[in-house]
Amino acid sequence: MFGINTSKPGAIDWLVVGLGNPGKKYEGTRHNAGFMAADALAKRLDIRVDRVKFHALIGDGMCGDQRILLVKHQTYMNLSGQAVDEIMTFYRIPPERLLVMCDDISLEPGQLRIRRKGSHGGQNGMRNIIDMIETDQFIRIKLGIGKKPHPDYNLADWVLSHFTAGEMKEMGQSAGNAAAAVELIVNGSIDRAMNLYNS
């Protein structure tokens, strides 16, 4: 489906995507953990994610010796694959050079899980990406947001709820760890990233 990215000047080596919902009303909500990680990475690498293209905010910069395109899609979560598919097609980025950061209700706030590939795990943004690019063979970093307070709690209401002050402190730490993990992964040290940051 995708051609192999070349090493010509200006080529993008990695596509790094944070998942969330755009707009002020969703800032600080559980579903925006991927955006939080993207913001932490942007700050760490001094990348301005402010160009509007491909239904997304994008910015590019160097991460070690790898050029990355950092993306915060501006569709809602359920259509996040639209931006990812367009960018991968335009830049000819293969799935093995895609890294997605997203929320995970099976992990507590502050916890991370790095996976080389896998199913969407019920996360609708991941589901849409897999459907759009027609493969689940890409790296993902999952940031814990905590499970529903009780089984009858509506899942949509839960993921769109805001973190407590204490949880936000934990999320700041996990977003920073996710950013550090991205640096290791794109520079060829995924095993070290998993050993250091997997909860």
Mean pLDDT of 85-96: 95
pLDDT at position 194 over 60: yes
Q: In the structure encoding, which two tokens stand for residue 100, read together?
A: 């997605």
Mean pLDDT of 96-110: 95
**Confidence bin at 120 (pLDDT 50/70/90):** confident
Model pLDDT, residue 10: 53
**Confidence bin at 1 (pLDDT 50/70/90):** very low
Q: Dihedral, CA atoms, 106, 72, 134, 15, nearest 10 degrees?
A: -110
- All domains of the chain, ordered by start, with CATH? 14-197 (3.40.50.1470)
- Selecting among 31, 55, 150, 162, the annotated active-site residue is 31
pLDDT at position 199 over 90: no
| Block residue for tokens 């895609």 | 98
Around Cβ 79, how many Cβ atoms within 10 Å? 16
| Higher pLDDT, residue 163 or 118 | 163
Model pLDDT, residue 5: 41
Candidate from 7-21, 56-70, 79-93, 153-167 with smallest mean pLDDT: 7-21
Amino acid at site 31: H
pLDDT at position 149 over 90: no
Told to judge if 162 belongs to the known catalytic residues of this protein, a careful annotator would answer no
CA 2 – CA 111 distance, rounded (Å): 33
